Structures are given as C-alpha cells and as structure tokens.
Amino acid sequence: MPGSKRIPSLEIGDNGEVVLELWCKGGKGQFSVAGNTIIFVPGAMETRNCPPDRTQADDDLLAALGDVATWRRQGDLVTLTGSKTLRFRLNTN
C-alpha cells in the first residue's frame, strides 16, 4: 500500500491457528486444511487508528481470505485461491 511501511502478514501455527497483522488491524483466526482445500475463519480483530483507505484495504483482505477455497505452495510462495488470488511469501529468516 503506498505510503505504508507495513506489509500484511500471516503466521500459521501447527494446528492452523493464525495471527494476522494487516495494515491497520490485527488479530487471530483459524485455517482448516484438507489436501488442497482450505477454509479461513477470522476471529476478533483489533482496529488501530488508521486512515479510512487502509481500514477498507484490511476489510477487503479479510473478505478475500474468507473466500479462499484452495491453496498451493511453490517454493517460498503460497497461493490462496478464491474470489481473488492471494500470494504470500514464506518468511525464511
């Protein structure tokens, strides 16, 4: 997002628990995975003081995550596919 130093991140635990850090919001959720099928259920999100465009971008990303139906991994790239295609890079540090 232009003007932002933040990059949305997902930390997924061994049991599918998710810690989300978006441009403005942060919180937890849950991924359920069976083969290449995936379901995301967001939990309560903490809203921080941000401009309306960044808050809307967070809401749009949460909605897109909620629409995800399948996933695949190629190297360090994870692709989530639903109403939109979302790509995340694995943190290899």
CATH number (domain holding residue 60) = 2.40.128.270
pLDDT band at residue 4 under the 50/70/90 scheme: low
pLDDT value for 63: 94
* Cβ-based neighbours of 60, under 8 Å, separated by 6 or more: none
In which domain, by residue range, is 34 found? 9-89
35: Cβ–Cβ under 8 A, 6 or more apart, which residues?
Answer: none
- Is 2 part of any domain? no
pLDDT in tens, 8-62: 888 989 899 999 999 889 999 999 999 999 999 999 999 888 888 888 999 999 9
How many domains does the chain fold into? 1
Domain assignment present for 56? yes
pTM of the model as a whole: 0.84
**pLDDT reading at 1 higher than 80:** no
What does the pLDDT read at residue 39? 95
Residue at 4 is within a domain: no
Output the pLDDT for position 3. 57
